[in-house]
Amino acid sequence: MAETSHDAALALDAADPLREFRDRFAIEADPVTYFDGNSLGRPPKAALTRIREETERWWAGRLIRGWSEHWMELPTRVGDLLGDVVIGAAPGQTVLADSTSVNLYKVLHAAAALRPDRSEIVIDDTNFPTDRYIVEAVADQRGLTVRWITVDSMAGVDADLLARVLGPDTAVVVTCHVDYRSSAVADLAGLTAMIHDAGALAVWDLCHSAGVMPIDVDAADVDFAVGCTYKFLNAGPGAPAFLYVAERHLTDVRQPIAGWIGAEDVFAMAPVYEPAVGIRRMLSGTPNVVGIAAVEEGVRVVADAGLDRIRAKGATLTDFVVGLIDAWLVPSGVEMLSPRDPGRRGCHVIVRHSDAAAITERLVEKGVVPDYRNPGLIRLGLSPLTTSYAEAWTGIDVLRGIIAG
């Protein structure tokens, strides 16, 4: 049986140990192929049920009493669950709050304040736009200099590139675990050790790895981490992000958005802000209750499936798609830019074509939904819990037909 045949895709689906998990999501006939779970994941049925429970039972039924009876503990309780299941964090170091952008702003200010004798923030020049923008904003506000890592390829940041910019002035280094374009995986533990050897602090963006690959921030000695929950954790549009602070920093860390939820006595209405003891000091405003509830259900699905199994399917699924790209698309002028080693590749694959924007529009018209990224890139997100091999095969087959004209 040829690996590029539809029968091969069906055989892989039949042997998939995670195939039953697709039934735990609300999946409609449209789109035919969804290649965008790395931007917005499909909704778990349990999350839809939970959202109704939070609004009907707690909001409608308990009104303001919901805060004291149930809601106030959500950011830290679900933070501990996510920390344990998704990022390898012991209790008391992770909270659900705000957006990735706001959380990155918080931890950058907090990290820089812990290195007051240093003057540089390091980030690569191909990092996700919001990360770059926020680094520049924080540097401007604190009178720091941005030191750019120049990345000439899709390979992302590695030890050689990082070594060129680290020095005695480095306060903080911001790095993505999985490159949002190429899907290249950075060495979490190795780069963190290099950053510490230089006397700096490591801030990791886990947006494209959380929920699809095992992460152990405690074992890697990470200082701070942020990430979103609406991608592979399937918590829904605008769902709150997570924020991690290593326990060793919690006594001294201060964040720039002092709000009532992060105060030691939330209801004291004190004239002076006194930060809470522990990770709760990283909170600011009123928690997004419905969003955090959806995060909890998304994390529970990931826990049931197991990150080792999710990672294994992600490697096999992306390998299958890479094989189709090589066989069908490369001869027609498509360039595959993601790493070929599945150990160095996340759960999306990116290709380049001179007419990528128009091709993406045609794909969407035919019920195949990918991401378009400048310049001339089509990103194919493959979510192991919801993307079947047959679905992926159909999407690449449609792409082949569009390119062939």
Distances in Å between the alpha carbon of 299 and those of 44, 47, 287, 359, 388?
10, 10, 18, 34, 20
pLDDT at 153 (0 to 100): 81
pLDDT at 2 (0 to 100): 60
pLDDT at 155 (0 to 100): 86
Helix (H, G, I), strand (E, B) or coil at 222: coil
Strand runs labelled E in 232-364: 241-245, 335-336, 348-352
Note the pLDDT tens digit of each residue in 106-150: 999 999 999 999 999 999 999 999 999 999 999 999 999 999 999
The residue ranges of the chain whose pLDDT is under 50 are 1
Provide the CATH number for the domain formed by 6-43+306-404 in this structure.
3.90.1150.10
pLDDT at 3 (0 to 100): 85
10 Å CB burial of residue 178 (0-12, 13-18, 19+) is buried
Helical H segments across 178-242, by residue range: 188-197, 217-220
Give the sign of the dihedral formed by CA 197, CA 198, CA 203, CA 204: negative
Q: Which residues are catalytic?
A: 128, 205, 230-231, 379
pTM score above 0.85: yes
Amino acid at 138: V
Note the pLDDT tens digit of each residue in 188-237: 999 999 999 999 999 999 999 999 999 999 999 999 999 999 999 999 99
Cα distance between residue 26 and residue 42, in whole Å? 7
Provide the CATH number for the domain formed by 72-304 in this structure.
3.40.640.10
Are 252 and 66 within 8 A, CB to CB?
A: no
Does an H or E element contain 176, and which? Answer: strand 170-176
Tell me the domain boundaries of the chain: 6-43+306-404, 72-304
With a CB cutoff of 8 Å and minimum separation 6, the contacts of 70 are 58, 62
DSSP state of 240: P
